[in-house]
Structure 1
Amino acid sequence: MDFKAYRLEEAPPTVYYVPDFITSEEEDKIISNVYAAPKPKWTQLSNRRLQNWGGIPHVKGMITEKIPEPHLDGPLFYPTVTTISCGSHTMLDFKRPILTDENETDTSDHGPDTKILSLLLERRSLLILQDDMYHKYMHSIAEVEDDIVTDKVANLKTCGIQYIQGQTLKRSTRISLTIRHVPRTSRFQIRLGK
């Protein structure tokens, strides 16, 4: 697939957004496999749950583990983060960049908590973040039940459905598959259970 056609020019470097990346059948299979995971695979976080596959986070790197079916092979190169959304849409909000160089100055008139853009992540879509959008921009998902389409949504033109300003979108349970390349991994494996 040539991802160049999916690059968002309305966002800082670099964002690719692919609507309908997976089929409805593939989405159903992913959701089924996620919910079929044993309880020890789930970690309860604030207002969400998490499963970690492919490795266990450790201060010295990831401890590798086998990835079950279905799986994806991960990003083409580092640093890249990819996300597939299943079950529901969400709105991913980005705030101004974190300045890492002491000589850099912030020329904006807005504080660090000012939202600069949002991305509407539709069901079955693929999001790829690289470069500044991966390294510098803070991102979050607001804990709301409904999202309102505004002029801050940078990918409206590339969404699979046509949305209009002011439209309200009702959220349901979303499952996101986030794939990251972890350069430091250990071949040491942990065996849980029998």
Structure 2
Amino acid sequence: MDFRRLMREERERARKKHAAADPTGSSSASREMRVAAAPPPESSPAADVSSYTEATLREWTQRLELDIETFRIGAIPRVYYIPEWISEAEEAAVLERVYAVPDDDERVWVRLKHRRLQMWGGEVKAPFQPLELPKWLLQITQSFVDTKIFDEEHRPNHALINEYGVGEGIMPHEDGPSYFPLVAIISTGADSDVTFEPHRKLQNTDGRDNNIADDAFTSQTSKFSFQLKRRSLLLFTDDAYTKYLHSISGIDSGKRVSLTIRHVSL
């Protein structure tokens, strides 16, 4: 999924909406002059991004190595689901840090069509120029290394925080080759459903394209869904990452906040 393109499109729509709503009919140049004359951003309480990045979680427990094979779910290889990965107190601490960023801070919150998000760790493009994650996210990523979910070489260095309102979800998509093929998703705030479905075309081991409609192939690659409870951890890797799309259904009430944590390998 091309998040850079999505963000560009949303910002362009916002620019056009703002221009259409300007009752003065002033040109973009005159609007820029008014912006330039405004007080410097340092006067805003939201200006100091370090206040978001230096804080730690007020509640977090160190994790020990675990055997994730005991948490495998479904027929698709390498999908794992761990309920109650975090406690209620840890969930509250995570949400406290997410919402420490004011709603109007557009440097951090980006509004997309069916959700809004925060992106930490840098823009995913080549050459990748990583930015250090906020300290509270480093606590979480360290837990994935401590449990041996991620190895030290592929330590998580990127996080997307998605907020979904009622009816909001995300369509079937793949995360693509920019990341090491392992995804960790922590769900907070509300329950939802995740669905894995095969790509339209996959490759046989001999390298030939094989259409998903082939009966023999379809029997081994059926779609499946299951519930993502709040405070759970979803992991998927290998074939589940490269040969399947995944989607998240809309929620019925409240707000769901997910932390999608990966290693950018550009």
TM-score, with length taken from structure 2: 0.53
- Which structure's residues are more often helix, by fraction? 2
SS at match of 2:92: helix
Alignment-derived partner of residue 256 in structure 2: 174
8 Å CA contact 2:183, 2:262 repeated in 1: yes
Kindly report which structure 2 residues correspond to 1:37-116, keeping only aligned pairs within 5 A, or say none: 37-38=101-102, 39=105, 40-58=107-125, 60-71=126-137, 72-73=140-141, 75-76=150-151, 77=154, 78-101=180-203, 102-106=208-212, 107-108=214-215, 116=223
- Does residue 125 (structure 1) correspond to residue 232 (structure 2)? The answer is yes
- Which structure's residues are more often strand, by fraction? 1
Distance 1:89 1:29 in 2: 18
Distance 1:124 1:81 in 2: 16
**CA RMSD, Structure 1 to Structure 2 (Å):** 2.5
Could you tell me which amino acid in structure 1 is paired with residue 123 of structure 2? I
Distance 1:37 1:62 in 2: 25
SS at match of 1:41: coil
8 Å CA contact 1:61, 1:182 repeated in 2: no
Distance 1:52 1:123 in 2: 21
Aligned residues: 155
Unaligned ranges ≥5, structure 1: 146-170, 185-194
SS at match of 1:5: helix
- For the pair shown, the structure with the greater C-alpha radius of gyration is 2
Deviation at residue 19 of structure 1 after TM alignment? 0.4
Could you tell me which amino acid in structure 1 is paired with residue 189 of structure 2? G
SS at match of 2:265: coil
Counterparts in 2 of 1:62 and 1:37: CA distance versus 1, 3 Å:
farther
Distance 1:25 1:19 in 2: 15
Higher relative contact order (CA 8 A, sep 6+): 1
SS at match of 2:94: helix
Could you tell me which amino acid in structure 2 is paired with residue 12 of structure 1? I
